[in-house]
Structure 1
Amino acid sequence: MSGEPELFTIPARKGRAVRLGAGEAIQIVNTHGAQVVDTWAFSAEDPTEFLSNEHMRATLGKMWPGQGDPLVTNRRRPIMIMEKDTSPGWHDTLIAACDDYRYGLLGCEDYHDNCTDNLFAAMRRIGIEIFECPSPLNLWMNIPVAEDGTTSWGEPLSRPGDYVTLRARMDCVVAMSACPQDILPINGAACQPTEAHYRILPREG
Structure 2
Amino acid sequence: MSTEPETFTLPARRGRAVRLSKGEAIQIVNTHGTQVVDTWVFNAEDLTEFLSNEHMRPTLGKLWPGEGDALITNRRRPIMIMEEDTSPGRHDTLIAACDDYRYGLLGCTDYHDNCTDNLHAAMRRIGLEAPECPSPLNLWMNIPVTADGVTSWGEPLSKAGDHVVLRAQMDCIVAMSACPQDILPINGAACQPTEAHYRLLDRQA
Please give the TM-score of this superposition, normalised by the length of structure 2: 0.99
Partner of 2:51 in structure 1?
51
Question: C-alpha separation between the residues in 1 aligned to 2:72 and 2:128?
Answer: 21
Per the alignment, in what secondary structure is the counterpart of residue 128 of structure 1? coil
The residue type equivalent to 1:150 in the other structure is V
Query: What is the aligned-residue RMSD (CA, Å)?
Result: 0.7
Partner of 1:177: helix, strand, or coil? strand
Find the residue that maps to 1:82 and give its secondary structure. strand
Q: Find the aligned partners of 2:34 and 2:190 in 1 and give their Cα distance.
A: 9
Which residue number corresponds to residue 186 of structure 2? 186
Correspondence list, 1:172-183, <5 A: 172-183=172-183
Query: What residue is the counterpart of 2:87 in the other structure?
Result: 87
Instruction: Give ranges in structure 2 of 5+ residues lacking alignment.
Output: none
Query: Residues of 1 paired with 2:136 and 2:152: CA distance?
Result: 18
In the aligned structure 2, how far is the partner of 1:130 from the partner of 1:152?
30
Match of 1:32 in 2: 32
Which residue number corresponds to residue 126 of structure 1? 126
| Residue identity in the other structure for 1:161 | G
Task: Tell me, yes or no, if structure 1 residue 139 matches structure 2 residue 124.
Answer: no
Alignment of 1:149-160 (within 5 A): 149-160=149-160
Matched, 1:15 2:15: yes
1:72-99 superposed Cα distances (whole Å, 9 cap, x missing partner)? 0000000000000000000000000000
Q: How many residues align?
A: 204
The amino acid that maps onto 1:202 is: D
Cα deviation 1:116-135 (Å, max 9, x = unaligned): 00000000110111221000
1:114 and 2:119 equivalent? no
Could you tell me how far apart the structure 1 residues matched to 2:115 and 2:166 are? Answer: 20
Equivalent residue letter for 1:89: G
Aligned-residue identity in percent: 83
Structure 1 unaligned residues grouped into runs of 5+ = none
1:47 alignment partner, SS class: strand
Shift of 1:3: 2.7
Aligned equivalents of 1:6, 1:169: Cα separation in 2 = 22
- Residue 53 (structure 1) shift: 0.3
